[in-house]
């Protein structure tokens, strides 16, 4: 990590430290903003004392980040169009990062202050979209090219479908518990348990399930939301000190060979499918000498890009041996080939087996660009874990008492938490960012409906309004900040 600071101009060093502080502040705020959702049921039902619940939630968030990988991190990064990712310079990168982070932090703090279970995921994604669209307007790029819309649609679907699934599945789980044990004490609220049984805590097995499922939600929250912070830090590092982070300088000779072999096999793949892809890729029509000086991603330049990449990597066994400019160049080639491969994979006419082969080639191709240094993962894990241990009180009461017209029963808490843990865990498997806030609160709402408790219209409207407004509000705020920053540095 010390190498990170060597040879940097003073203003670049200060900018880098500020940007990293902003990202870690976002993750810290994300911790106490979203933790209430992970521990709300376990605190409300008195399955755990608040200080213990929040502490262990922080610990499980920490390990969730450490063990979560980087799939979701790069799903977030690739919301930005590949042209913006390959041509980012220091000033532009700073404006982009500070704008989207300032917008996300502002909205997160505002909704937390008013105790509204709003989504940090929505906020961050809206901010990234806002920056992408503002960049398109400023540089006269078509709005259709300002954002990676296919990735945006995939993420939007996960953000929309996951709360609906949470609502339905949690309701079904509760109905199953009522059918299985209709007279069980797990169907009592904490208030009923205290009055009728003179007991403060849930029955043992209910308490155990509540605690385990709450820690499960904390773990998957760390895994999913922590990766968003990792993705942001990699944007910062690549934008401000590209020479040291555009490629994983710790890549082994084997990993570099895998990348080089992937380009060769990709060339063979395109030749094998020339009848289907020849026109889309202009196979055999474009030479390496035709690559423009101002490099841009164009599927019809795929063949010369592969040739240029193979030349750049010829004989390379250690990325340290490449000059800084050459590393940036190699990353551009890799990102463009990956972007083209994604587009090719969606074309009609390719057999399912061929698409599966292409997907494997893409993973090999990006093995040394989609990474995160260990210190980045630890820093984000610490920020999220420590943030988890403060600021949780404002949202707990909303989730526990203000969604339904009656208090939450132990069975409802278990149903909502088990559903949230499973849903977010599945999203992690498919590298899709989802909202812990919306999955859990919609799960609670589903159990209230299934329990015939009814919903409190005011609270539900507030949560829905936050859900609807978060995306456009954060987009508008980030776009405005990016426009001002671009004017200032322009």
Query: Considering just the CA atoms, what is the radius of gyration of the chain in Å?
Result: 24
Contacts 24+ apart (CB under 8 A), 369-372: 369/246, 369/247, 369/248, 369/331, 369/334, 369/335, 370/70, 370/74, 371/70, 371/248, 372/70, 372/73, 372/230, 372/233, 372/234
Contact 41, 214 (CB under 8 A): yes
Contact 403, 460 (CB under 8 A): yes
Provide the pLDDT for residue 4: 61
**CA 252/CA 21 separation, integer angstroms:** 31
Token pair recorded at residue 193: 């348990």
Contact 420, 217 (CB under 8 A): yes
Give the pLDDT band (50/70/90) at residue 158.
Answer: confident
**CA 467/CA 462 separation, integer angstroms:** 9
Secondary structure in 3-state letters for 69-91:
CCHHHHHHHCCCCHHHHHCCCHH
Give the pLDDT band (50/70/90) at residue 391.
Answer: low
Percent of the chain predicted with pLDDT > 70: 89
Q: How does 438-470 read in b/e, with b if 16+ C-beta sit within 10 Å?
A: bbbbbbbbbbbbbbebebbeebbebbeebbeeb
Give the pLDDT band (50/70/90) at residue 292.
Answer: low
**So where are the chain's domains?**
15-242+380-489, 247-365
Contact 217, 440 (CB under 8 A): yes
If you average pLDDT over residues 78-86, what whole number do you get? Answer: 74
Residue showing tokens 């309004």: 465
**CA 16/CA 241 separation, integer angstroms:** 8
The answer to whether residue 63 scores a pLDDT higher than 80 is yes
- Any idea which of 93-97, 299-303, 308-312, 444-448 has the lowest mean pLDDT? 93-97
Provide the pLDDT for residue 403: 60
The answer to whether residue 353 scores a pLDDT higher than 80 is yes
The answer to whether residue 139 scores a pLDDT higher than 60 is yes
The answer to whether residue 79 scores a pLDDT higher than 90 is no
If you average pLDDT over residues 451-463, what whole number do you get? Answer: 74
Provide the pLDDT for residue 2: 60
Contact 80, 147 (CB under 8 A): yes
The answer to whether residue 239 scores a pLDDT higher than 60 is yes
Task: Give residues with Cβ within 8 angstroms of 300, minimum separation 6.
Answer: 280, 281, 282, 285, 286
Sign of the torsion formed by the C-alpha atoms of 186, 188, 190 and 194: negative
**CA 115/CA 403 separation, integer angstroms:** 13
Token pair recorded at residue 123: 């906020």
**CA 200/CA 410 separation, integer angstroms:** 12
Residue showing tokens 């932090």: 105
Provide the pLDDT for residue 337: 92
Backbone angles phi, psi at 307, to 5 degrees: -60, -45
If you average pLDDT over residues 27-39, what whole number do you get? Answer: 76
**How many other C-beta atoms can be found within 10 angstroms of the C-beta atom of residue 431?**
18
If you average pLDDT over residues 404-430, what whole number do you get? Answer: 87
Provide the pLDDT for residue 153: 83
Which one-letter DSSP state was computed for residue 288?
Answer: G
Structure pTM? 0.85
Provide the pLDDT for residue 213: 93
CB-count burial class (<10 Å; 0-12, 13-18, 19+) for 65 = buried
If you average pLDDT over residues 408-421, what whole number do you get? Answer: 91
Average pLDDT, the chain: 84
Contact 65, 376 (CB under 8 A): no
If you average pLDDT over residues 33-61, what whole number do you get? Answer: 82
Provide the pLDDT for residue 115: 67
pLDDT, tens only, 187-221: 888 888 888 888 888 999 999 999 999 999 999 98
**CA 286/CA 300 separation, integer angstroms:** 7
The answer to whether residue 432 scores a pLDDT higher than 90 is no
**CA 225/CA 118 separation, integer angstroms:** 14
The answer to whether residue 329 scores a pLDDT higher than 80 is yes
**CA 156/CA 150 separation, integer angstroms:** 10
Contact 234, 245 (CB under 8 A): yes
**CA 75/CA 68 separation, integer angstroms:** 13
Give the pLDDT band (50/70/90) at residue 5.
Answer: low
The answer to whether residue 312 scores a pLDDT higher than 60 is yes
Q: Count how many residues are written for the chain.
A: 490
Looking at per-residue pLDDT, the higher value among 378 and 396 belongs to 378
Backbone angles phi, psi at 229, to 5 degrees: -65, -40
Cα→Cα distances 404→39, 177, 278, 399, Å = 18, 19, 59, 9
Provide the pLDDT for residue 441: 82
Give the pLDDT band (50/70/90) at residue 138.
Answer: confident
Contacts 24+ apart (CB under 8 A), 150-157: 150/342, 150/346, 151/75, 151/78, 151/79, 152/79, 152/125, 154/75, 154/432, 155/75, 155/79, 155/125, 155/432, 155/433
**How many other C-beta atoms can be found within 10 angstroms of the C-beta atom of residue 382?**
17
SS3 404: strand
Provide the pLDDT for residue 36: 66
The answer to whether residue 117 scores a pLDDT higher than 70 is no
- Please work out, in degrees rounded to the nearest 5, the angle formed at the alpha carbon of residue 136 by the alpha carbons of 93 and 347: 105
Tell me which residue of 401, 400, 402, 385 sits closest to 460, measured CA to CA. 402
**CA 166/CA 196 separation, integer angstroms:** 31
- Please work out, in degrees rounded to the nearest 5, the angle formed at the alpha carbon of residue 192 by the alpha carbons of 190 and 194: 70
Sign of the torsion formed by the C-alpha atoms of 303, 265, 371 and 342: positive
């Amino acid at each position: 990590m010390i190498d990170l600071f060597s040879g940097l101009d003073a203003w670049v060093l200060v900018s880098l430290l500020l940007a990293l502080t902003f990202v870690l502040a976002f993750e810290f705020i994300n911790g106490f903003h979203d933790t209430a959702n992970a521990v709300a049921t376990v605190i409300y039902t008195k399955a755990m004392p608040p200080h213990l619940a929040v502490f262990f939630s922080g610990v499980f968030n920490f390990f969730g980040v450490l063990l979560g990988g980087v799939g979701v991190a790069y799903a977030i990064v690739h919301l930005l169009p590949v042209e913006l990712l390959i041509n980012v310079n220091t000033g532009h990168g700073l404006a982009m990062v500070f704008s989207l982070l300032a917008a996300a932090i502002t909205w997160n703090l505002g909704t937390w202050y008013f105790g509204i279970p709003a989504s940090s995921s929505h906020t961050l994604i809206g901010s990234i979209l806002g920056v992408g669209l503002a960049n398109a307007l400023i540089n006269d790029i078509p709005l259709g090219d300002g954002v990676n819309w296919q990735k945006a649609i995939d993420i939007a679907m996960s953000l929309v479908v996951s709360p609906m699934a949470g609502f339905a599945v949690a309701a079904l789980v509760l109905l199953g518990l009522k059918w299985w044990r209709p007279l069980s004490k797990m169907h009592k609220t904490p208030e009923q348990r205290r009055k009728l049984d003179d007991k403060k805590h849930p029955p043992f097995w209910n308490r155990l399930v509540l605690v385990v499922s709450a820690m499960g939600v904390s773990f998957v929250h760390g895994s999913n939301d922590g990766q968003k912070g990792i993705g942001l830090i990699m944007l910062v590092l690549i934008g401000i000190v590209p020479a040291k982070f555009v490629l994983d300088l710790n890549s082994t000779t084997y990993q570099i060979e895998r990348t080089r072999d992937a380009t060769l096999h990709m060339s063979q793949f395109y030749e094998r499918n020339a009848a289907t892809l020849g026109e889309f890729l202009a196979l055999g029509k474009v030479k390496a000498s035709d690559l423009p000086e101002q490099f841009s991603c164009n599927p019809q330049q795929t063949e010369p890009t592969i040739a240029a990449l193979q030349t750049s990597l010829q004989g390379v066994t250690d990325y340290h041996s490449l000059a800084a400019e050459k590393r940036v160049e190699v990353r551009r080639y890799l990102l463009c080939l990956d972007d083209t491969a994604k587009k090719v994979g969606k074309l009609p006419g390719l057999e399912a087996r061929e698409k599966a082969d292409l997907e494997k080639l893409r993973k090999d191709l990006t093995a040394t660009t989609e990474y995160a240094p260990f210190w980045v993962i630890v820093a984000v894990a610490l920020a999220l874990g420590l943030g988890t241990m403060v600021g949780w009180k404002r949202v707990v009461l909303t989730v526990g008492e203000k969604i339904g017209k009656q208090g939450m029963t132990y069975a409802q808490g278990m149903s909502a938490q088990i559903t949230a843990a499973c849903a977010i865990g599945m999203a992690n498997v498919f590298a899709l960012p989802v909202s812990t806030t919306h999955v859990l609160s919609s799960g609670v709402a589903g159990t209230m409906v299934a329990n015939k408790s009814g919903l409190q219209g005011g609270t539900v409207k507030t949560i829905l309004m936050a859900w609807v407004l978060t995306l456009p509000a954060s987009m508008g705020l980030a776009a405005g900040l990016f426009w001002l920053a671009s004017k200032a540095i322009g």
